[in-house]
Chain A
Amino acid sequence: MIKFTNVFKAFPKGGLALKDVSFHIAKGEFAFLTGHSGAGKSTVLKLIYADERPTSGEVRVSGHGITDMRPRDVPLLRRRLGIVFQDFRLLEDRTAEENVGFALEVTAARQSTIAARVMRVLTQVGLAAKAQAYPRELSGGEQQRVAIARALVNEPTVFLADEPTGNLDERATRGVFQLLRDINASGTAVVMATHDLDLVRQAPYRVIELQEGALVYDSAVDEPRDQAAAP
Chain B
Amino acid sequence: MNLVVREAFRTFKRAPLLSALSVTTIAFSLFVLGLFGLVVVNLQDALRRVEERVEIVAYLLPGTPIEPVTIGLKDIEAFPEVQAATYVSEDQALARARAELVEFRDVLRELERNPLPASVEVKLKPGFRDTEHVSAVAERLLGFGFVDDVRFGRDWIEKLDRLRQLAGAVAIVVGVAFAVVAVIIIGTTIRMTVLQRSREIAIMRLVGATDGFIRRPFLLQGALKGLLGGTVAIALSFAAYAVVDRYLEIHATFFSYEQAAVIIGFGALIGLIGSATSVGRHLRRV
Which residues does A use to contact B, with CB under 8 Å? 49, 72, 75-79, 83, 89-91, 93, 102-103, 105-107, 150, 154
Contact = CB atoms under 8 A, between A and B. Distances in A.
Given A75-B208, A91-B200, A106-B210, 15 more contacts: A75-B205, A75-B210, A77-B208, A78-B205, A78-B207, A83-B206, A89-B206, A102-B204, A103-B207, A105-B3, A106-B204, A106-B207, A106-B208, A107-B208, A154-B207
A108 B209 CA distance: 9
Q: How large is the interface on B (under 10, 10 to 19, 20 to 34, 35 or more residues)?
A: 10 to 19
Nearest to B200: A91
Question: 10 smallest A-B Cβ distances: which pairs?
Answer: A79-B208, A106-B209, A78-B208, A103-B207, A75-B208, A75-B210, A93-B14, A89-B203, A106-B213, A106-B208
Nearest to B203: A89
B282 interface: no
B207 A102 contact: yes
Interface string B122-154: 000000000000000000000000000000000
A83 B203 CA distance: 11
A78 B10 CA distance: 25
A106 B200 CA distance: 13
A187 to B, nearest CB: 21
A49 B207 CA distance: 10
Contacts of A75: 205, 208-210
B207 A150 contact: yes
Contacts of A93: 10, 14
Q: Which of B3, B199, B208, B211 counts the most chain A CB atoms within 10 A?
A: B208
Interface string B231-251: 000000000000000000000
Q: Which of A49, A83, A102 counts the most chain B CB atoms within 10 A?
A: A102
B203 A91 contact: yes
Contacts of B211: 72
Nearest to B2: A111
Interface in B23-47: none
A103 B208 contact: yes
29 contacts: A72-B210, A72-B211, A75-B205, A75-B208, A75-B209, A76-B208, A77-B208, A78-B206, A78-B207, A78-B208, A79-B207, A79-B208, A83-B206, A89-B202, A89-B206, A91-B200, A102-B204, A102-B207, A103-B207, A103-B208, A105-B3, A106-B204, A106-B207, A106-B208, A106-B209, A106-B213, A107-B208, A154-B207, A154-B208
A91 B207 CA distance: 12
Contacts of A105: 3
Contacts of A78: 205-208
A77 B211 CA distance: 14
A151 B10 CA distance: 23
A78 B208 CA distance: 5
Q: Which of B204, B205, B207 counts the most chain A CB atoms within 10 A?
A: B207
Contacts of B205: 75, 78
B258 to A, nearest CB: 40
A83 B205 CA distance: 11
A77 B199 CA distance: 21
A49 B202 CA distance: 13
Q: Which of A75, A93, A102 counts the most chain B CB atoms within 10 A?
A: A75
Contacts of B202: 89
Interface in B189-207: 199-200, 202-207
A102 B200 CA distance: 11
Contacts of B204: 102, 106
Nearest to B10: A93
B85 to A, nearest CB: 71
Nearest to B206: A83
A196 B283 CA distance: 35
Contacts of B209: 75, 106
A106 to B, nearest CB: 4
Contacts of A79: 207-208
A120 to B, nearest CB: 17
B283 to A, nearest CB: 10
Contacts of A83: 206
Contacts of B199: 89
Contacts of A103: 207-208
Q: Which of A78, A91, A106 counts the most chain B CB atoms within 10 A?
A: A106
B142 to A, nearest CB: 75
A137 B27 CA distance: 38
A155 B65 CA distance: 103
A37 to B, nearest CB: 21
B196 to A, nearest CB: 12
Contacts of A150: 207
Contacts of A106: 204, 207-210, 213
Nearest to A78: B208
